Structure 1
Amino acid sequence: MELSEVRPSKQPPGNSFFFSGDKKARLAVGKKSGCQDVSYLIVKLYRLPIIFIPHNG
């Protein structure tokens, strides 16, 4: 599932559905790492709480 979510990184940054309000963060990190890395990091960051909540509960 993670691979499918990372794939949209090929699309222009404006189409990224994860970045609705984090445009500044996207631009700042995007210049450093590139769109693919940003998408991967975002997926990881968003995944962590989702993975940890069920295990803790």
Structure 2
Amino acid sequence: MLQFLLKLDPGLAFEALKPRPSLVCPCCGANVIIVRTRIRPPLSKPESGGAPEVALAV
């Protein structure tokens, strides 16, 4: 709907995108294939269920 009101052609946006340049492996010089572009956040430590750590003042 917004594209109709603003008279935009969504196909033109995709035509302007250039393909990614290929990356070269520094060791062997071969083209590198990107498998995943999103890196997941680190998992939090699982709760051990034991006694909690407590700082003791001496």
TM-score class, shorter-chain normalisation, is: under 0.3
TM-score scaled by length of structure 1: 0.21
Q: TM-score, normalised by structure 2?
A: 0.21
Greater fraction of residues in helix: 1
Question: Max radius of gyration: which structure?
Answer: 2
Which structure shows the bigger proportion of residues in strand conformation? 2
